[in-house]
Chains A and B, each alone.
Chain A
Amino acid sequence: NAGVTQTPKFQVLKTGQSMTLQCAQDMNHNSMYWYRQDPGMGLRLIYYSASEGTTDKGEVPNGYNVSRLNKREFSLRLESAAPSQTSVYFCATRYNEQFFGPGTRLTVL
């Protein structure tokens, strides 16, 4: 079992470009999450999906959109990247505890 996988692992964008971060899980969990992690700060919730077909905003949703394509996949889209979105992005599932993916390190120039 791969657990939670994320692609890509690294990405560099120019301001204004768009991209989609992919997340997939084989744990059969209903809940999936997107977080960002910045130096000196705790993980902050961007978006959440309680189940297939549902999504909800977290603490810092501005500038992002999400799609819960099916039970396995939950993608995060940046429509027009900004330098403030330079961060490490983690996807996670939850069943009693959270299980995190390996992260995507995104730099926006």
Chain B
Amino acid sequence: KNQVEQSPQSLIILEGKNCTLQCNYTVSPFSNLRWYKQDTGRGPVSLTIMTFSENTKSNGRYTATLDADTKQSSLHITASQLSDSASYICVVSAVDTGRRALTFGSGTRLQVQP
């Protein structure tokens, strides 16, 4: 069964500090991995997408890494801001054009405090 596990479940950091969120997956055959940011009360919004051949991708202060051999990804947030407070969801896509292709992690809830 395809699974996506995220850790930690929740995290509190001080404004200006860095943090790293983890995602382990057992989705096969792998197509791509996305990180989404979900603000409270809103729908998820895409941050990055990575394919098998990519091992690093940045979007501003967000940097995602992918190790396809160990089936692990991380999302690193640099110089955190209060607006980074949100849930971060890892989503892995299998090589399948059908609707069952996406597996969602349960998310990491990040709280940035002043």
Contacts and interface: CB of A to CB of B under 8 A. Distances in A.
Q: Is the interface of A mostly helix, strand, loop or mixed?
A: strand
Interface residues of A, number: 24
Nearest to A43: B104
B42 A50 contact: no
Bin chain B's interface residue count. 20 to 34
Contact of B34 (A4, A92, A97): A97
Given A97-B49, A101-B43, A102-B42, A42 B99 contact: no
Contacts of A97: 34, 46, 49
A67 B27 CA distance: 30
Contact of B43 (A41, A44, A103): A103
Contact of B105 (A42, A96, A100): A42
Contacts of A100: 43-45
B100 A58 contact: yes
Contacts, number: 49
A33 interface: yes
A33 B43 contact: no
Contact of A42 (B41, B45, B49, B103): B103
Contacts of B98: 56
Interface of A: 4, 31, 33, 40-45, 48, 50, 56, 58-59, 90, 92, 96-103
